[in-house]
Amino acid sequence: MEHIVLYFEHLNPVWIYLSLFAIAYIENIFPPSPSDIIIVAGGSLIGLGQIGFFPALIFATLGSTAGFMTMYKVGEWFGESIIEKDKWKFIPRAQIHLVESWFRKYGNWLIVANRFLSGTRAVISVFAGLSELNLKTTTALSFFSSLLWNGILVSAGMLLGKNWSLIGLYLVTYSQFVTAGLTTFAIAMVIIWFYRRYHTS
């Protein structure tokens, strides 16, 4: 990461903004991408006077939103055909439809929380498209969620300056905590589903 920051320091501001957009976009398509820490690193350049706070925030947010909506379209266009062809045989079809019904009820809240749920962003965006949530509302909520989260990251980088890497440990810990919590919740839901299915039949 230090090498990336050093590389950024020698770039024209326009290229830095475009890089923040691209990094935020790719993270939605390829979740293992360390976009959060790179955006923090980009924020550290604000303190050096190399880029501006608001342009950095907007480009990162637009990248996050564009990436989310790309996966939304993937879910909308291909999700149903994949399910009906049993491409996900390890997941019961009924369980997938159950998740769809949850999204139709609580999808807007999940989209708002999306950026804060590290590791599930691509899944939420695909199911949002699969559940055919309203396009305009989904786009607006995704932008709002991204704006809040990226605002935190950019501000952290700006405040920490050259010590931006300190935030990396906190982001990793936060990600592990969220992933563990969501995994536990998902397992609990599956257990409840199987319990209800075999005790009501």
Average pLDDT over residues 155-167: 71
Distances (CA, A) of 137 to 10, 98, 144: 39, 22, 11
Tallying the residues shown for the chain, one arrives at 201
Q: Mean pLDDT check: name the lowest of 24-38, 39-53, 84-98, 159-173.
A: 84-98
Domain ranges of the chain: 2-199
Q: pLDDT for 39-74, tens place per residue?
A: 888 888 887 788 999 999 999 999 999 999 999 998
The model's pTM is 0.74
Q: pLDDT for 80-113, tens place per residue?
A: 665 555 555 545 555 565 566 667 777 788 888 8
Q: Residue for token digits 């709002």?
A: 144
